[in-house]
A and B are shown apart, each in its own frame.
Chain A
Amino acid sequence: MEFAFFIEGGNFSKAGSASSEVKKILKQLNVDSKIIKRTVVSLYEAEVNVVAHAFEGDMIVEIFPDKIAVRIEDKGPGIPDIEKAMEKGFSTATPKVREMGFGAGMGLPNIKKNSDEMNISSKVNVGTKLEIVNYLK
């Protein structure tokens, strides 16, 4: 099964709506609630990253008998130094975004903690691709 969701850059009022749709689907499929919780944390953080940093993005969710695989690909500024971006507390978010309580440099570490596999690749001035896998065991 495959589902795709569009993520609009800059539109915080819709941030979380794609993750919310995925959560509904996983619940309908009777996926274990602990796995749903972890996946939802990862997806929400990834979605907010696109909203906060990119122009637009797509979340593609594939559900297999043994795993959930999600790709979040965006068109945006990209990440020059992924290792740095992965550090807890590091953020390039704007002051406005920080005032809302985002941009604390916890997003990518949260994703890492809440996914079984995480791969991130990025091209500066092109965009970022994030892949998350959670196993259904």
Chain B
Amino acid sequence: MKVQDIVDKLGLKVCSGSAGLNREIEGGYTSDLLSDVMGNADENQVWITLQTHKNIMAIASLKELAAIILVKGYEPEADAAEQSNVEGIPILSSEEEAFELTGKLFDLLKK
């Protein structure tokens, strides 16, 4: 499944990094602690979080994540969005809370 597929199926807003919408997704990780994601997420995963600052892009880039989804309608800070465009790693946004969104993404990816 590609990032574009989950954008369509989960009704996500593409905030930045649209060049990376063809990235392949191999799983997901939900956490708001950066060291937790750094230590436990794997490459090509989608990261679900409420953190919106630039450091989420440092993590996404170093871990080679497929995309970041911000919950509850949050939008990335300007420098985070800029870095997302540079790296080609999309930042997406959902109106839902982490619990619901994680459940739906889990369902999609297990099919």
Residues of A within 8 A of B (CB): 12-13, 15-17, 19-20, 23, 37, 40-41, 44-45, 48, 100-102, 104, 106-107, 110, 113-114
How many residue pairs between the two chains, A and B, have CB atoms under 8 Å in the bound complex? 61
Residues of A within 8 Å of B55, CB to CB, are 12, 15-16, 100-102
Give the distance in Å from the alpha carbon of A19 to the alpha carbon of B38 in the complex.
12
Partner-A contacts on B (CB < 8 A): 32-36, 38-39, 43, 49, 51, 53-55, 58-59, 61-63, 79
Chain A contacts for B63, CB-based, 8 A: 37, 40
Question: Is there an interface contact between B62 and A16, defined as CB atoms closer than 8 Å?
Answer: yes
Contact, CB under 8 Å: B62 / A102: no
14 A-B residue pairs with Cβ-Cβ distance under 8 Å, sorted by A, are A13-B79, A16-B61, A37-B63, A40-B62, A41-B38, A44-B58, A44-B62, A100-B53, A100-B55, A101-B32, A101-B51, A104-B35, A106-B39, A110-B35
Cβ distance A93 to chain B, nearest Cβ, rounded Å = 11
How far, in angstroms, from A106 to B40 measured CA to CA in the complex? 11
